[in-house]
Structure 1
Amino acid sequence: MTTGVPLSTAPRRRSRARTFLPLAVAAWMILEIWLLSLVAGAAGGLTVAALLMGGIVLGAVVIKRAGRRAFKNLTNTFQQAQQGRQPTPQQPGGGNGLTMLAGLLLILPGLLSDVAGLLLLIPPVRALVGRRAGRSLERRMAAAPAGSFGDAFQQARIHQPDGKVVQGEVIRENDPQRAAPGPHAGYRPPLAP
């Protein structure tokens, strides 16, 4: 049984990320092991173990603190929304996601990941990385083809002039594809519960 849709026999082209990401991860791991062996040779194995344990403890503290701050921000936002007030926007560069990423990099065993995690803990560096990541995400979402996740993301961000987000669906009454015969022909389920 055929569906009438022609199947493409051309091989799918792999994206650069899928090609180079495994190589980059392997190179990162080899470099981390090499640096740890250099430090172990110069300062001793006990020093390397202390550095790794210190990174794990510091990373856990950073993640716990960022998680508490994120939960507190979420609670404040819900309380403001329940009181009918407009939630206050978070300060730029104060995102907890990058702080949690810094904690995760500190927890990962290795010296390069620890240095990257410590750099992300510096507020100007975190703000710079956050701005660059936001701009990159905006560019990718704007260039997304119709019907993709990026297009859905852009559609969800439609704003009214007063700044309120309007989520919904356009329903055309004269659309023959939506007209269904039967007892529930005019019924449409609500958009929100």
Structure 2
Amino acid sequence: MTSGASSPTYPARPRRSRMRTFLPLGVAAWLVLEIWLLLLVADAAGGLAVLLLLVAGFVGGAAVVKRAGRRAFRNLSESLQRGTPPQSGGANGLTMLGGLLLMLPGLVSDVVGLLLLVPPVQKAVSAYTERTIDRKLRASVPGPLGDAFAQARMRGADGKVVQGEVIRDDRPGGPYDAGDDRPPLTG
């Protein structure tokens, strides 16, 4: 016996992004690699050497993060005292990231953290990141957030942000005449 009711239709599930697909696999591979390398070093140099290596990485990373944080705070307070906008903290951010990677237990993260402390590598990573973000913003669908980024990037010839222009019409019979409900703009 068949019924006249049809089965419900479900909307197609959106495709999963590559990042969501491969990120868990990449994290798992990274963890396995870190553990394998630590076991190799422990087999070759002993457990005490691995422990000292991990403690030295943590202490060194903490010192790097502390120094970069102090430098960022000093730059911010100096720019606030001068009344100028704070400068980009790309190098400080990458220095802090390098310190955090040094603090993580593992040899691969230590090598990547040490590479991020080298100024030419910081410059290359910063330029690549800026290009990638700029390309993604251009390709994104315009919306309130995209408009906000466009507003933030508009600058006049003198370097000041130009948000818009107000045109007043105070002549008699204009839109702000006595018969209009709206008050005139004061300026």
TM-score, with structure 2 as normaliser: 0.78
Q: Does 1:152 align with 2:154?
A: no
1:33 aligned partner, one-letter code: I
Percent identity at matched positions?
61
Distance of 1:113 and 1:166 partners within structure 2? 44
Structure 2 match to 1:5: none
Structure 2 match to 1:27: 29
CA offsets 1:27-75 (integer angstroms, 9 cap, x no match): 0000000000000001000000000000000000000000000000100
Any gaps of 5 or more consecutive residues in structure 1? 1-7, 171-184, 188-193
* Stretch moving more, 61-70 or 146-155: 146-155
Distance of 2:40 and 2:163 partners within structure 1? 56
Q: 1:167 to 1:50 in 2, by over 3 A?
A: farther
The Cα RMSD (Å) is: 2.5
**Alignment of structure 1 residues 1-193 onto 2, 5 Å:** 9-81=11-83, 86=84, 89=87, 95-147=91-143, 149-167=145-163
2:120 aligned partner, one-letter code: P
Number of residues paired by the alignment? 161
2:149 aligned partner, one-letter code: F
1:126 aligned partner, one-letter code: Q
Any gaps of 5 or more consecutive residues in structure 2? 1-9, 167-180
Asked whether the 8 Å contact 1:141–1:154 carries over to 2, the reply is no
Q: 1:115 to 1:141 in 2, by over 3 A?
A: same
Distance of 2:15 and 2:129 partners within structure 1? 26
Q: 1:44 to 1:167 in 2, by over 3 A?
A: farther
Spell out structure 1 runs of 4+ moving beyond 6 A: none
2:133 aligned partner, one-letter code: L
TM-score, with structure 1 as normaliser: 0.75
